[in-house]
Amino acid sequence: MTCFLAGEYMVEMWVKTEPLQSVLIKAIFIRPYLSAMHPLTTGDFTLIDFPPTLEETVRRETLIIRNGSSRKSSFTVLAEVGTTEIMTLEKARETDINFRYFSIDPLEGKMGPFEGRIFTTSFHP
């Protein structure tokens, strides 16, 4: 059975025995993906809305990312600068001053099958 799309599949196979026997194989194939579990999540976009924050204070918001795959998955947090450039958060802080006011933990790692991980985003103006 070869599957290229996520979904439910059923295949019937015949085993050579005396008498012939039919074996029914049913499998559910899961497409590997990471998903955000947060109240303000729609599709591939997640909004973290920080309330008004005073200078020299820190606001933190958490976000849960879940590995929806039956395999290990690696992740790296990247920053989108402008509309086309994607780079590490450290490099983005050198390019755009606004990134200096934000930090996120963890920045990279591995997640086990169906594991959820809490990400903490901090805003410190």
Structural domains in the chain? 1-31 (no CATH), 32-123 (2.60.40)
Is residue 66 scored above 60 in pLDDT? yes
Q: Determine the pLDDT at residue 27.
A: 72
Percent of the chain with pLDDT over 90: 19
C-alpha–C-alpha distance, residues 88 and 107, integer Å? 9
10-45 tens-digit pLDDT = 666 667 777 877 777 777 666 777 888 776 666 677
State the chain's mean pLDDT as an integer: 81
The first and second tokens of residue 85, run together, are 């450039």
Rg for the chain, CA atoms, rounded: 22
Q: How many residues does the chain have?
A: 125
Task: Confirm if 86 and 80 have CB atoms less than 8 A apart.
Answer: yes
Alpha helices (H) in the chain, listed in sequence order: 89-95
